[in-house]
């Protein structure tokens, strides 16, 4: 496990004893990850590593744009949940789309245009 995760893993063990129910990996501020269209699910490696050694439910948030990748991570790692923020700005009905087994990539491309737009609207929406 990389050094930077050692402390986190130890912290998880401590929280585990205190019956913490979940640990969520969220990443927003670091531009090279948040803006990346290639490196999706920015925290997947760190989250999977911590989930491997802990009983705490692990949620990974940030860059979840590909349903099939989430499904694969769910089936092959200890990551149990996926958080999504900007994809719901762009597609408020995304869950319904997934329920209909329409698992195309999210319309959101992580461009961050909504962050500074009044009303936090997706810049792909005309007249918004």
Q: Of 50, 61, 70, 79, which lies in the binding site for ligand FMN, with binding defined by CB under 6 A?
A: 61
Cα separation of 80 and 59, whole Å?
6
**DSSP H or E run through 24:** strand 22-25
Residue with tokens 């949620």: 59
Least separation in angstroms between residue 65's CB and ligand FMN is 8
Asked if 46 touches ligand FMN (CB under 6 A), the answer is no
**Between 10 and 115, CB nearer to ligand FMN:** 115
68, with CB counted inside 10 A (0-12, 13-18, 19+), is: exposed
CB of 64 to ligand FMN, least distance (A): 6
- Residue 63 binds: one of ligand SF4, ligand FMN, none (C-beta under 5 to 8 A by kind): ligand FMN
């Amino acid at each position: 496990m990389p050094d930077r995760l050692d402390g986190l893993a130890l912290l998880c063990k401590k929280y585990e004893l205190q019956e913490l129910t979940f640990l969520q990996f969220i990443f927003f501020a670091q531009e090279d990850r948040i803006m990346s269209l290639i490196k999706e699910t920015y925290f997947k490696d760190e989250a999977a590593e911590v989930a491997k050694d802990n009983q705490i439910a692990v949620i990974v948030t940030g860059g979840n744009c590909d349903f099939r990748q989430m499904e694969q991570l769910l089936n092959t790692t200890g990551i149990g949940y996926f958080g999504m923020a900007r994809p719901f700005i762009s597609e408020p009905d995304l869950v319904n789309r997934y329920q209909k087994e329409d698992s195309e990539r999210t319309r959101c491309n992580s461009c961050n245009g909504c962050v500074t737009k009044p009303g936090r609207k997706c810049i792909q929406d005309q007249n918004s």
